[in-house]
Homo-oligomer: A and B are copies of this chain.
Amino acid sequence: MITSTSNSHIKEIKHLRERKFRNESGLGYVEGVRLVYEALRRGTVVKEIILAPEIIKSEVIVEIIKLANERQLPITEVSKNVFEDLSTKDGPKGIAAIVRQKWGTLEMLNTSTNFWVALFEVADPGNLGTILRTVDGAGGEGVILIGNCTDPYDPTAIRASMGAIFAKHIVKCSENEFVKTVSSSGKYLVGASDKGSLDYHEIEYKNDTILLMGSERQGLPIILQKECKEMVSIPMSGSCDSLNLAVATSIIMYEISRSVKMRH
């Protein structure tokens, strides 16, 4: 059992809080009973399990250790103080895992049969995670991250996704790559903006829809709006001029999901 917070392996793991080290290593740090269980269950490559026996209370842990042993995963035992030092959340539950990041490719658009969500420069990891969670709930295929987006393997994003990060495709690309792929694929690209000419509810969405959302601060740049077959907006009644990005994306996603189901 590792009892020192200055242990070199512990220091390495702590580096995964920083995006730079996550990018370089291609790894992510996942914490909490449910998330570790989802990672194992969803076939994400788990490199290592970290356990703090002094903290663990949940009974799910038995199931997790069973899965880990079946796959011969290394289990690192650490003391309570070491786990608390590693932890990125309040009230740590004593279990974490190091996972290999999994990225999809734009080619996946050609073979998929459900809608996608494309996010231009999404900045808030909580929003990204929440959107992944709704993509899973609404039956979408995955998320395309265009340009300079936040990292889905940010601990806040992983947590907000409630494990959907392990179940859904995530693709990273530039604006140009996105535009090129979408125009050649013939996908039904629908953009959202507060100035969109159609109510999001007036469209018959198809299952080859890509819903394109702009960043929290700037919305969608004109160059991307021009690629859209339709631009929709969500009607706003009050004094605020916009909704939270994850909320707006989720509202339209559920309308896509409903519209597609009605056509079947």
Contacts and interface: CB of A to CB of B under 8 A. Distances in A.
Query: Chain A contact residues (Cβ within 8 angstroms of B): what range?
Result: 35 or more
Contacts of A201: 258
Q: How many copies does the complex hold?
A: 2
A62 interface: no
Chain A contact surface mostly: helix
Interface string A134-162: 11111100000000000000000000101
Contact of A239 (B167, B242, B244): B167
Contacts of A225: none
A73 interface: no
A42 B234 contact: no
A237 B137 contact: yes
Contacts of A250: 243-244, 247, 250-251
A243 B135 CA distance: 10
A250 to B, nearest CB: 4
Interface in A225-264: 234-240, 242-244, 246-247, 250-251, 254, 257-258
